[in-house]
Each structure stands twice: as structure tokens, then as C-alpha cells.
């Protein structure tokens, strides 16, 4: 009799364990299936503002897993051209953006020019600098100067355009240290590895390790414009459209303005 009772008890325990196990396995996994993953490729100079917006947006939309890949606009554009799984492209240059439109990766009606920026000359705070203007860059005592790689980093292209327009490019070209994106330029200046660098105003104002000594005249370079668009092959066009629209709201634009961007 005891054996029968023990057997029944064991069967009941196994049934309870199985039921609990099934409940645990179906709960989170079914929730996980409901999540939406969005990948945004954004220019490195957008990092600070976008991280704030990412946090705010995900608080309001917990079902969205928003991933942001920051880098030079040219590198990001090439990744998308080669088929990288991206939902939204936020570029710091119109030409990189237009290339994806020409390739059929972005529909023209699914893109908009959203932000503007300024180009500034910065020097490190950790050492004394005699640089007070762009013209000072030609002085013999001024060593290395950093800009982004012009072919892949819009800020680097704008910098080169500006330096050429100022007629000092040939005099300082041998001093140039190229960086993979504008944030690397900023890092080189912050650490004192270079004597000066050209970055966006938005990068300079979030750093307490550099001083802005001059601003490039907007007439010396192409307009600094940040277009954003939805990639046609987006895994979830509806979700991508929602975030794309959110970035154009007053709430999101105010964040960008707080980080020094101008709005279109």
C-alpha cells in the first residue's frame, strides 16, 4: 500500500514539475517573439543626442529593441550598399545619403533633411596652445593636426574643403593626421596627441577637454546637412516609420538642439 501511495505521489510531483516547466518556457519566449528589433546606422557625431532619444523612445515603446550603430557616414553607407541589415540611415552628408537613393536602397519620399551643424577648430586643454585661428595652423611650431578621412568622414571632407578655401591646405597637408570618424579626431585632441583638430561644434561642446578657438565660415565648405531615411529592406517598415517620424517631433528635435544641432 505504501508503495502505491509513494508511486502516486511521485507521479503527481512529476506532473507539477512538467506543468511549471512548460509555463516558464512558453511565457518569456512568447513575449520575446513580440519584440521588434530596429537597427539604426547613424553618424558618429549624433551619438550623444541619439543615445538620449534612444532611452526616451524605448521607455515609451518597450516592445522595440532599438540598436544604434555609430560610425563615419561613408563607412555606414558602404555597409548598407553591401546588404547590411539596417532599418534607418542617419547620415552627416547628403552625398552619402543620395548614393543610397540612387542605388534604390532608400525611396526619395522616405527621406528628409533633418539637422544642421557647424565646423570648429579645437585645441587640447591639457597643454598650452598658441593657436587662436585657422591661419595659425601654418606656423612651424604647430605640429600634428587631425581631421576625419575626407573620403569616408563628412566632417573630414568639410574640413578639407574649408582649409582649401582658406588657402592653407597645401601648407599644412603634411601635418594632417587622419581619423576614422569625427569622435576619433576629438579623442586625438583631448589626449594631446595632436595640436589641433577640426570637428563639429556639437562634438566640441560635449567635451570638457578641448577649447574651441575658431569657427569655420559656412561659405568655405558645403552645407552641413544630416538627412535621415528608411531602408527599403527594413525588417519592419511600420516600426521603422514610427521611429523615423518620432525623430521629427518637437520632443526629439529639442534634444538635438540641446546638443548644439540646428534644425531644418
- For residue 88, pLDDT beyond 60: yes
CATH, residue 156: 3.40.190.10
Q: How many domains would you assign to the chain?
A: 2
- For residue 174, pLDDT beyond 60: yes
Residue 108 lies in a domain: yes
* Cell numbers given for 81: 550598399
**Element at 204 (helix H, strand E):** helix 201-204
- For residue 250, pLDDT beyond 90: yes
Same domain, 102 and 134: no
Same domain, 138 and 207: yes
Name the pTM for this structure: 0.80
In the 8-state DSSP scheme, what is residue 65? Answer: E
**Element at 208 (helix H, strand E):** none
Residues forming the annotated binding site for molybdate?
45, 73, 155, 182, 200
Mean pLDDT of 191-207: 96
Burial-class residue 109 by CB neighbours within 10 Å (0-12, 13-18, 19+). Answer: exposed
Amino acid 3: pLDDT: 47
At 145, the pLDDT band (50, 70, 90 cuts) reads very high
49-76 pLDDT tens trace: 999 999 999 999 999 999 999 999 999 9
Residue 58 lies in a domain: yes
Mean pLDDT of 130-159: 96
- For residue 210, pLDDT beyond 70: yes
* Cell numbers given for 103: 542605388
Report whether 120 contacts 237 (CB < 8 A).
Answer: no
Mean pLDDT of 174-201: 97
- For residue 24, pLDDT beyond 60: no
| Numbers of helices and strands, H then E, in the chain | 10, 11
In the 8-state DSSP scheme, what is residue 31? Answer: H
Mean pLDDT of 175-197: 97
Amino acid 111: pLDDT: 97
Same domain, 81 and 212: no
Q: How many residues does the chain have?
A: 264
Same domain, 77 and 155: no
Same domain, 147 and 212: yes
Residues forming the annotated binding site?
45, 73, 155, 182, 200
For 90, half-sphere exposure in the C-beta direction (CA atoms, 13 angstrom radius) is 25
Same domain, 216 and 153: yes
Residue 22 lies in a domain: no
Amino acid 35: pLDDT: 87
Domain with 209 in it: 119-220
Using CA atoms in the order 89, 90, 93, 99, what is the torsion angle rounded to 10 degrees? 10
Output the average pLDDT for the chain.
90
Q: At what angle do helices 47-60 and 250-258 cross, to 10 degrees?
A: 150
- For residue 48, pLDDT beyond 70: yes
At 7, the pLDDT band (50, 70, 90 cuts) reads very low
Amino acid at each position: 500500500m505504501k508503495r502505491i501511495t509513494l508511486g502516486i505521489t511521485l507521479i503527481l510531483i512529476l506532473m507539477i514539475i512538467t506543468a511549471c516547466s512548460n509555463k516558464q518556457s512558453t511565457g518569456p519566449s512568447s513575449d520575446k517573439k513580440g519584440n521588434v528589433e530596429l537597427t539604426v546606422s547613424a553618424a558618429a557625431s549624433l551619438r550623444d543626442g541619439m543615445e538620449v532619444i534612444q532611452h526616451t523612445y524605448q521607455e515609451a515603446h518597450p516592445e522595440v529593441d532599438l540598436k544604434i550603430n555609430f560610425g563615419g557616414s561613408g563607412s555606414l553607407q558602404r555597409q548598407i550598399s553591401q546588404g547590411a541589415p539596417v532599418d534607418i540611415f542617419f547620415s552627416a552628408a547628403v552625398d552619402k545619403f543620395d548614393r543610397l537613393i540612387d542605388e534604390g536602397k532608400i525611396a526619395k519620399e522616405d527621406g528628409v533633411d533633418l539637422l544642421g551643424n557647424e565646423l570648429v577648430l579645437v585645441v587640447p586643454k591639457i597643454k598650452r596652445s598658441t593657436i587662436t585661428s585657422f591661419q595659425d595652423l601654418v606656423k612651424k611650431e604647430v605640429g600634428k593636426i587631425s581631421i576625419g578621412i575626407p573620403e569616408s568622414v563628412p566632417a573630414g571632407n568639410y574640413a578639407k574643403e574649408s582649409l582649401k578655401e582658406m588657402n592653407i591646405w597645401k601648407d599644412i597637408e603634411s601635418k594632417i593626421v587622419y581619423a576614422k570618424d569625427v569622435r576619433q579626431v576629438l579623442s586625438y585632441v583631448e589626449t594631446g596627441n595632436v595640436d589641433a583638430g577640426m570637428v563639429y561644434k556639437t562634438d566640441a561642446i560635449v567635451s570638457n577637454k578641448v577649447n574651441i578657438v575658431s569657427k569655420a565660415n559656412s561659405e568655405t565648405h558645403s552645407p552641413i546637412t544630416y538627412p535621415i531615411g528608411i531602408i527599403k529592406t527594413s525588417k519592419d517598415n511600420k516600426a521603422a516609420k514610427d521611429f523615423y517620424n518620432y525623430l521629427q517631433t518637437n520632443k526629439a528635435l529639442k534634444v538635438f538642439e540641446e546638443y548644439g544641432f540646428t534644425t531644418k
